[in-house]
Amino acid sequence: MKITGKRALVVGGTGGIGAAVADTFADAGATVLVADRRPGSGRHPSIPLDVTDEQDVADAVAEALTRLGGIDILVNSAGVLDQADVACMSLRQWQRTIDVDLTGVFLVSRAVLPHMTAQGWGRIITVASQLGIKGSPSMAHYAAAKAGAIAFTKSLALEVAQAGVLVNAIAPGPVETDMTVDLTPEWRARKTAELPLGRFAVPTEVAPTALLLASDPGGNLYVGQTLNPNCGDVMP
């Protein structure tokens, strides 16, 4: 599964799953640019990006096109995660999660689409979550955003597949990242007990799924799909 010579923009790529995807893509031969609210100082060049700001997204994609010379692969991996029961959840908490985890996917995908359709080839891969399929107590806002990202993926895929742009999603199970480390011990223990593998994943176990979807011919037949590297948490 090589992507030699492809140009990849990994949004949310300075940590967790995004960073693992960026590394995996680079190892497979791609030129990688990372975009994140926290510009990285690591292996890959990076640019600042707030996915909730429409103008910031437009500016960042323009810069990415200049620096990369084009965008062949977009990975939407920016996300936020916290906990609150619906009865206690503030509108601000709900809106922030929707803005980052769903609206951000729309804004960045929309910004790269004209360039991908013009060149007749592109891959858009969004990191969703198995909670967008099954839900979770104390995470209704997160589950709703991720379910929306999955539905958005299907709809966009139908719009642009014949233009050569393949749009798919990944719905990982719980993964050991900076976002999940602060979840309550009770939630982590309950979730671990539910998993057939009996453990959370690590980011490097999720990244190869993104590589499959990005690769040619490996990803050529995936259109509007949601792949599930989730430790058995959801069995569609």
Catalytic residue numbers read 142
Per 3-state DSSP, the chain is made up of helix, strand and coil in percentages (nearest 5) of 45, 15, 40
Nearest alpha carbon to residue 212 among 75, 16, 92: 75
What gap in Å lies between CA 234 and CA 163, rounded to an integer? 32
Edge to edge, the sheet with strand 122-127 lists: 46-48, 31-36, 7-11, 73-76, 122-127, 165-170, 226-227
Dihedral sign of CA atoms 106, 111, 114, 115 in order: negative
Nearest alpha carbon to residue 75 among 16, 131, 133: 16
Bridge partners (DSSP) listed for residue 35: 11, 47
- CA angle 131-133-139, nearest 5°? 30
The number of helix segments (H) and strand segments (E) in the chain equals 8, 7
What gap in Å lies between CA 187 and CA 195, rounded to an integer? 13
What token pair was written down for 185? 């011990």
